[in-house]
Structure 1
Amino acid sequence: MDLIKYNIIEAIKKLPDGCSAEDIMYQIYFISQVMEGIKDADEGRVLTTKDVLEQIETW
């Protein structure tokens, strides 16, 4: 099973009975964003704190 699908299913199983569709959608979105961030980090697409602070200064 695909890792993202597995993680989403496991997170949904942990939600309480009677949770809303919005609660489920939030979990799906949250997990997908975390996994996307992990993938970016693994592929070296990250910024250091110094880089971010320099970008903020230019605003």
Structure 2
Amino acid sequence: MSIKEEVIKTISELPDDVTYEDIMEEIFVQSKIEAGLNQLDEGKHLTHDQVKERMGKWLS
């Protein structure tokens, strides 16, 4: 499915009284989720242990 088709599908599933802001937010969230899934597929992510190590440094 193309991005255009995904956006049209997303908009068509929203209630009739949706605002422009609601539509933009829904599309923004959808794009960020898609980007994150693509990063996972490309191996661009941290392991749980790596996150714990980084968080430990931030919190100390």
TM-score normalized by the length of structure 1: 0.87
Q: Which runs of 5+ in 1 are unaligned?
A: none
Percent identical across equivalent pairs?
Answer: 40
The number of residues matched between the two structures is 58
Q: Which runs of 5+ in 2 are unaligned?
A: none
- Which protein is bigger by CA-based radius of gyration? 2
Runs of 4+ that moved beyond 3 A: none
CA RMSD of aligned residues (A): 1.2
Cα distance in 1 between the residues matched to 2:44 and 2:5: 25
Between 1 and 2, higher relative CO (CA 8 Å, sep ≥ 6) is seen in 1
1:23 maps to amino acid: D
